[in-house]
Amino acid sequence: MDSFFSKLYLDLQERIKSAVPEIEWIEQDFGQDIFDEWRPNVAFPAVLIDFPSTTYSEIGNINQSAQAAIMLRLLFAPFSQSYEDAPIEVRQDALQFFEIENKLVNALQGWTPTGAYCQPLLRRAAASVNNNRIGLRIRNLSFSTAYLEIFETPEALEQTVTMKIV
């Protein structure tokens, strides 16, 4: 695949799958957390991947430097109770989403895909989004990376260099 985002998406899937086997489903983010009566086939815990924004700046000719945002949405089915009088085992089970999130962050913070076609991933933000009608536990993890877009123009491809030996 030639697209930066296609390659990164597939590499992210492989990295998450191998480093965090507790994750049951890794998919593109199509808003799977907002369906009320019908939900797509998602197993929990799930990670939904999106690339919400990328900024570009010129580095010469038509080539560009890119700063890409990566959004990972962790979806968890509701766990058990975590109130103070619940048995410790029940509270620990209720907090497993934090443990899985921590494992995911540790797997991706500073990670560079094979081939080093982008800078290491860096976590930028984490936020809960639990005000949903389905009752899911949701954590948004934002990462960033940078990469170069090198374009080959038709003019550059047609340009030839001739040498004159004197």
**pLDDT tens digits for range 46-80:** 999 999 999 999 998 889 999 999 999 999 887 66
pLDDT higher than threshold 60 for residue 103: yes
Q: The whole model's pTM is what?
A: 0.84
pLDDT of residue 137: 86
pLDDT of residue 74: 94
Angle between helix 96-108 and 4-19 (nearest 10): 130
How far from the centroid of its chain's Cα atoms is residue 30's Cα? 14
Q: Where do the domains of the chain lie, and which CATH numbers do they carry? A: 4-158 (3.30.2000.10)
pLDDT higher than threshold 80 for residue 34: no
Residues 91-120 have a mean pLDDT of 93
Half-sphere exposure of 20 (CA within 13 A, CB side): 26
Cβ atoms within 10 Å of 44's Cβ, excluding its own? 16
pLDDT of residue 156: 52
36 falls in which pLDDT band (50, 70, 90)? low
At a CB cut-off of 8 Å and minimum separation 6, what does 6 contact? none
**What is the length of the chain?**
166
Which among 38, 50, 25, 28 has a CA at the least distance from the CA of 133? 38
pLDDT of residue 32: 79
Which among 147, 135, 153 has a CA at the least distance from the CA of 62? 153
State pLDDT tens for residues 109-159: 999 999 999 999 999 999 998 766 667 889 999 999 999 999 887 665 454
Torsion over CA: 98, 81, 48, 27 (sign): positive
pLDDT of residue 136: 81
